[in-house]
Structure 1
Amino acid sequence: MLINDFIAALLIGLLGAGHCLGMCSGIASAISFSVKEEQSKLSSMLSLLLYNLGRICSYSLAGAIFAASSGILILFFGGKEALIYLRLLAAILMLLLALYISRIWFGLLKLERAGLFIWKFIKPIAQFFIPLKHPLYAFPLGFLWGWLPCGLVYSTLSWAASSGSASNGFIIMAGFGLGTLPAMLSVGTLSQQLKYYLNHHYFRYGSGVLLASFALHTFYIAVKQLL
């Protein structure tokens, strides 16, 4: 069951690649070009890799924290039934994500704005590492930048929270982060070419249909468990 959740989260990350490039390609490009000219291309790639590793670690940690917290609340307030209601919420957010990626409705932006309260405290710390003085600084930068308000992350995080345990939440968000990795490693010219294909309406609508199907399936299973 957990391996299926990991694969599904990986696919969500892949399908949301266009959104990831829109949100984070700027900082990723800045990282790859901020190393000193005398440093090798290997240093540039190392910086980009460490940045993304830090970002994935922050997603995984958030998944573990939210899943552990929800697990405690579920035991305290309602047991298994409360977990089902949390899955219903996750399915609804996933459906909103499908509409967002398809560019049919942008209601998920309101959820992103809600995260700005926390981000205003984290952003000044993250900016301390810009420009990079050493490739190793890319890891803490990525870890902090992973808390940037993002509807794609929040939707997947709600699903991870419904897993009911810290380890499951960690694995789900790690799968999601790994799914975003191919797009985030394609900076520069390749990034622009990838953006073209990812923003094509066929890809956007196709991704939306797949995510909506997953959301409806999750919703159906949760409702069935309540009956």
Structure 2
Amino acid sequence: MGPAHALAFLVGLLSAVHCLGMCTGVVGALSYSLPATMRQRPRRLVTMVLAFNLGRIGSYTLAGALWGSLGVILLLTGAHPWFFGTMRWVAAMIMVGIGLHVAGWFPRFALIERVGGPLWARLEPLGRRLLPVRTLPRAMLLGMIWGWLPCGLVYSMLLSTPVHTGILASALYMGCFGAGTLPTLAAAGVFAGRLYRVGQDRRFQAVAGVGVILLALMTLLFEI
């Protein structure tokens, strides 16, 4: 673990507003897909929500490994260093756009999330077949499908993974990012969307958005 992985974790923490805005509906649907007897037992509900999120983070980690393998292939084929530098700048600029979007100053940035639309159109029906969720393995599998939901923030993090060459390092990078999002989305799952109002607070949006922008600039300043 190095500075890049700590940064990925911080980005995940500060992406709370984006996560609440994009995933609250999904989290609520997952929670309400559980039998009423599970929802009424706090310990059981927390366990299932954690299973959903572990599956989601597992998908982020897998995506990081797959994308990181591209960096290894490019190195083996003699890619020039400028390519990785360009990727780092592109990832940072996308992250700045996300910060502006989170702060409410650049709503059109959400259009970038349409890139993953075709893949999600194929995966979403598979998720429906897993409902209602009654077991932990089923919850984790549904969470793994949820992990491929189109998200500009995830895309920007993925773009930076080839910079940290190595499949394991890239997988860990995305895993750290996913771990940073865990507190917000786990809480949203347990409270079944009641945190949505917090995410709509303009002051909270602005602070979180500026935080993401500062972290994006740090990736360029310290070349991590």
TM-score, normalization: structure 1? Answer: 0.87
Displacement, 1:193? 5.3
Displacement, 1:29? 2.4
Displacement, 1:169? 1.1
Whole-angstrom distance in 1 between the partners of 2:108 and 2:36: 43
Name the Cα RMSD after superposition: 2.2
Where does residue 27 of structure 1 map in the other structure? 26
Q: Which amino acid aligns with 2:96?
A: L
Where does residue 184 of structure 1 map in the other structure? 185
Where does residue 126 of structure 1 map in the other structure? 127
User: In the alignment, is the contact (CA less than 8 A) between 2:117 and 2:150 conserved in 1?
Assistant: yes
Which residues of 2 match residues 110-121 of structure 1 at below 5 A?
110-121=111-122
**Cα distance change of structure 1 residues 135 and 34 upon mapping to structure 2, 3 Å threshold:** farther
Whole-angstrom distance in 1 between the partners of 2:46 and 2:100: 34
Where does residue 168 of structure 1 map in the other structure? 169
Which residues of 2 match residues 1-227 of structure 1 at below 5 A?
2-39=1-38, 41=41, 42-187=43-188, 190=191, 194-220=195-221
Whole-angstrom distance in 2 between the partners of 1:125 and 1:189: 24
Whole-angstrom distance in 1 between the partners of 2:34 and 2:211: 39
Q: Which amino acid aligns with 1:4?
A: P
Could you tell me which runs of 5 or more consecutive residues in structure 2 were left unpaired when the two chains were aligned.
Answer: none
| Cα-to-partner distance string for 1:47-71 (whole Å, 9 max, x where unaligned) | 2111000000000110111111133
| Cα-to-partner distance string for 1:22-50 (whole Å, 9 max, x where unaligned) | 22222322333333334462332222111
SS across alignment from 2:130: coil
**Cα distance change of structure 1 residues 138 and 81 upon mapping to structure 2, 3 Å threshold:** same
User: In the alignment, is the contact (CA less than 8 A) between 1:33 and 1:44 conserved in 2?
Assistant: no
Displacement, 1:74? 4.1
Where does residue 225 of structure 1 map in the other structure? none
Displacement, 1:113? 0.5
Answer with 56-65 or 90-99: which moved more: 90-99
TM-score, normalization: structure 2? Answer: 0.88
Could you tell me which runs of 5 or more consecutive residues in structure 1 were left unpaired when the two chains were aligned.
Answer: 223-227
| Cα-to-partner distance string for 1:100-142 (whole Å, 9 max, x where unaligned) | 1111113432220011011111111111112213233100000
